């Protein structure tokens, strides 16, 4: 399996360093106007992570209506990672299995899986150091509100 395809927006922001032809007729999803997390995202830590990430991603043009679910899943993975990390901190990496033998805590598996999901989704949004070196972000121009028009 090869490297995943880089989103066109990231290629454009980076100046298309590979100079490959960009896809024609690629869907252009609408930009997100509300930075509220999806209603199904209930976790406190997930919602906090959303409030931390969404404004920067929106300002960079990397958060569109079609990206909301991916960002929400990233935030949920963050919450699962933090919850399992807290359990491990309190109880340790090992627990007693059914036969009395010490086994790896189930929280370790949850933490590892959440970590994998976090890293994969962070790469999709250009949020890791390696992914960021290939991105030069230019903020999206602010849109005028109805109030701005009345002020003129």
In order along its 152 residues, the chain shows pLDDT tens digits of 556 667 776 776 777 777 777 766 666 778 888 899 999 998 999 999 999 999 999 888 888 888 999 999 999 999 999 999 999 999 999 999 889 999 999 999 999 999 999 999 998 888 887 777 666 555 555 555 555 555 55
pTM beyond 0.85: no
φ, ψ for residue 53, nearest 5 deg = -95, -40
**Phi-psi domain of 6 (left: phi exceeds 0; alpha: psi -120 through 50; beta: other):** beta
CA distances from 81 to 54, 87, 108, 119 (A): 19, 10, 9, 11
């Amino acid at each position: 399996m090869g490297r995943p395809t880089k989103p066109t927006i990231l290629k454009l922001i980076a100046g298309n360093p590979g100079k490959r032809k960009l896809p024609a007729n690629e869907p252009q999803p609408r930009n997100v106007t509300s930075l509220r997390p999806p209603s199904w995202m209930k976790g406190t830590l997930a919602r906090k992570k959303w409030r931390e990430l969404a404004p920067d991603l929106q300002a960079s043009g990397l958060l569109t209506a079609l990206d909301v679910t991916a960002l929400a899943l990233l935030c949920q993975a963050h919450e699962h990672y933090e919850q399992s990390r807290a359990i491990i901190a309190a109880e340790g990496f090992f627990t007693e299995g059914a036969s009395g033998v010490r086994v790896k805590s189930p929280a370790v598996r949850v933490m590892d899986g959440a970590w994998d999901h976090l890293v994969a989704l962070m790469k999709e949004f250009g949020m890791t150091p390696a992914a960021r070196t290939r991105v030069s972000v230019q903020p999206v121009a602010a849109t005028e509100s109805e109030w701005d028009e009345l002020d003129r």
